[in-house]
C-alpha cells in the first residue's frame, strides 16, 4: 500500500498526486512512468512522472480526470492509500548536450516535461518551452518553468494567452527564437504529439514523442502497448515510451487507444447516488473505506486538501 501525501485539482479537471513510493523515487529518471491501481478492483493505468523527491521518497504525477480510474484517483485525499504504485517503468529520456531544445507540452504533458527540462538544463542545453491549452486558465507550473528555462511560450485555442490556434503553429515560435533548434520533445495527448510531429517534419528537426498507448503490466508481458514505429512493431512499455515522432504510425495508435471507448463509458452512465450518500454521511465507510489509513476515520481529510510544497 502506498500512502498519498497530496491529491488536489491544479487547474480545472487536471490533478496533481504525490504518493509515498520510496523505491520508485530512488530510481526514477526523466521520461519514465509509473503504473497505479486506485483501488483493489481497479485497473492498472500508466501515468507519466512529473516530479519526485528522492529524500522524502515521494513521486508526483499530474493526470486528467477522464475515465473511471482517474475519477476515482481525483477523489482520493492525503492519508488514503493506493494499492499499487509500481515503477519506474519505461526507458529514461535521452539527455545529452544537444544545444537548443524546444519542449512542447499540453495537458498532463506540461507536468511530465518538467523533469526533462531540468535534466536538459543540467547538461547545459538552452531550453525553450511551449505550453498549449484550450484557454489560459488551463496552464499550470508556468512559474516553475520560468525560473528554470530560457523562455516560455504559449498557444491557446481561444487566444487568451500567446498565439491563438493549436500546436500546428509551433513553427512560428521556432522561427521567432532566432537560433537553430536541435531537438523537439513533445509530451501530451496523442493529437498533440501527432500535430506537433507533423509541424516539425518539414523543418527536419529531430522530434521525440512520449507515447501513451493502453498498458496492463507495463513490463513487456502483455503486448497491448504495441505501436508501429518506422514500419516495425515496438512495445512502448519496454522499448519506449519515447520514439521518433516522424516515424510513428499515428493513425494506428489513435485507433488502438480507442479500443475500450464503449466499455469505458459504461461505469460513467450512473449517478452513483448511493455511493455519494455514503461518502458524505458515513465517511465513505462502505466501499472506499478500504483505501483509508488504518485507524483513521476514512475521508477525514476530504475537505482539507493539502498543498504539496512542490508546486510553486
Partner 1 sequence: MAEKKEKKPLDLNRREMPKQPPEVRKYNFNEVAFGYPEDVAVEEAKRCIMCKKARCVQNCPVEIDIPAFIQAVADRNFAEGIRIIKQKNCLPAICGRVCPQEDQCEKTCTLVKKEGQLAIGRLERFLADWEARQGHVEMPDIPEWTGKNVAVVGGGPAGLTVAGDLILRGHRVTIFEALHRLGGVLVYGIPEFRLPKEIVNREVEYLKRLGVEVHTDFVVGKTRTIDSLLEEYDAIFVGSGAGLPWFMNIPGENLNGVYSANEYLTRLNLMKGYLFPTYHTPIKAHRRVAVIGGGNVAMDCARSALRLGAESRIIYRRSREELPARFEEVENAEEEGVIFDFLTLPLRYIGDENGWVKEMVIQKMELGEPDDSGRRRPVPIEGSEETWPVDAVVCAIGNSPNPLIGTTTPGLKLGKKGNIEADEETGMTSREKIWAGGDIVTGAATVILAMGAGRKAANSIHEYLMNGNGHDGNGHDGNGAEHKTDPKENPDIPPDIHLP
Q: How far is residue 289's CA from residue 220's CA, in Å, rounded to a whole number?
A: 33
Q: By CB under 8 A, tell whether 290 contacts partner 1.
A: no
* Window 67-106: contact mask with partner 1 (x via CB under 8 A): -xx-------------xxxxxxx-----------------
Q: Phi and psi at residue 143, in whole multiples of 5°?
A: -65, -40
Cβ within 8 Å of residue 210, ≥6 positions away: 31, 48, 109, 112, 185, 186, 187, 193, 241, 242
Phi, psi at residue 255, to the nearest 5°? -60, -45
55 or 232: CB nearest partner 1: 232
What CA–CA distance (Å, rounded) separates 62 from 109? 8
CB of 150 to partner 1, least distance (A): 33
DSSP class of residue 307?
P
List binders of partner 1 among 50-69 (CB under 8 A).
Answer: 68-69
> At its nearest, how many Å lie between partner 1 and the CB of residue 270?
9
- Give the cell for residue 180: 537553430
Q: How far is the CB of 153 from partner 1 (least distance, A)?
A: 35
Residue 14 grid cell: 487536471
Any contact of residue 264 with partner 1 (CB under 8 A)? Answer: yes
> Per rule CB under 8 A, is residue 285 in the interface with partner 1?
no
Q: What's the min distance (Å) between Cβ of 185 and partner 1?
A: 22
Q: Which is nearer to partner 1, 272 or 276 (CB)?
A: 272
Q: Is 233 in the site for partner 1 (CB under 8 A)?
A: yes
- Is the peptide bond prior to 231 cis by the omega test (within 30 degrees of 0)? no
> What gap in Å lies between CA 65 and CA 246, rounded to an integer?
29
Please state the closest distance from residue 210 (CB atom) to partner 1, in A: 17
Q: Is 176 in the site for partner 1 (CB under 8 A)?
A: no
In the chain, beta strands by DSSP E:
2-11, 14-20, 33-37, 45-53, 58-64, 81-82, 84-89, 100-106, 126-133, 151-156, 163-164, 183-187, 206-210, 226-229, 232-235, 242-244
Of 150 and 249, the one with the shorter C-beta distance to partner 1 is 249
For partner 1, the closer of residues 45 and 174 by Cβ is 45
Name residues contacting partner 1, limited to 21-40 (CB under 8 A).
23-24, 27, 37
**Residues in the site for partner 1, rule: CB under 8 A?**
23-24, 27, 37, 41-44, 68-69, 83-89, 216-217, 219-224, 226-228, 233, 235, 238, 251-252, 255-256, 258-260, 263-264, 266-267
Amino acid at each position: 500500500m502506498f500512502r498519498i501525501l497530496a491529491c488536489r485539482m491544479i487547474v480545472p479537471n487536471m490533478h496533481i498526486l504525490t504518493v509515498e513510493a520510496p523505491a520508485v523515487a530512488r530510481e526514477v529518471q526523466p521520461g519514465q512512468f509509473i503504473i497505479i491501481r486506485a483501488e483493489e478492483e481497479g485497473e492498472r493505468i500508466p501515468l507519466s512522472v512529473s516530479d519526485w523527491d528522492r529524500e522524502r521518497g515521494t513521486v508526483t504525477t499530474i493526470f486528467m480526470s477522464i475515465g473511471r480510474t482517474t475519477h476515482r484517483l481525483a477523489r482520493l485525499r492525503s492519508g488514503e492509500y493506493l494499492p499499487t504504485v509500481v515503477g519506474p517503468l519505461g526507458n529514461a529520456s535521452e539527455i545529452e548536450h544537444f544545444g537548443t531544445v524546444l519542449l512542447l507540452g499540453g495537458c498532463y504533458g506540461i507536468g511530465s516535461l518538467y523533469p526533462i527540462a531540468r535534466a536538459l538544463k543540467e547538461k547545459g542545453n538552452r531550453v525553450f518551452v511551449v505550453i498549449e491549452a484550450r484557454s489560459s486558465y488551463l496552464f499550470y507550473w508556468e512559474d516553475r518553468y520560468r525560473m528554470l528555462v530560457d523562455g516560455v511560450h504559449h498557444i491557446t485555442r481561444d487566444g487568451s494567452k500567446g498565439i491563438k490556434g493549436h500546436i500546428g503553429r509551433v513553427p512560428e515560435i521556432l522561427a521567432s527564437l532566432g537560433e537553430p533548434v536541435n531537438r523537439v520533445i513533445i509530451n501530451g495527448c496523442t493529437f498533440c504529439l501527432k500535430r506537433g510531429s507533423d509541424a516539425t517534419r518539414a523543418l527536419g528537426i529531430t522530434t521525440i514523442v512520449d507515447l501513451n498507448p493502453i498498458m496492463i503490466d507495463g513490463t513487456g508481458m502483455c503486448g497491448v502497448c504495441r505501436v508501429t514505429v518506422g514500419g516495425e512493431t515496438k512495445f512502448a512499455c519496454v522499448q519506449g515510451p519515447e520514439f521518433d515522432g516522424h516515424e510513428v504510425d499515428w493513425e494506428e495508435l489513435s485507433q488502438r487507444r480507442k479500443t475500450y471507448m464503449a466499455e469505458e463509458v459504461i461505469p460513467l452512465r450512473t449517478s452513483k447516488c448511493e455511493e455519494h450518500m455514503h461518502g458524505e454521511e458515513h465517511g465513505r465507510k462502505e466501499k472506499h473505506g478500504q483505501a483509508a489509513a488504518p485507524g483513521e476515520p476514512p475521508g477525514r481529510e476530504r475537505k482539507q486538501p493539502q498543498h504539496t510544497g512542490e508546486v510553486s
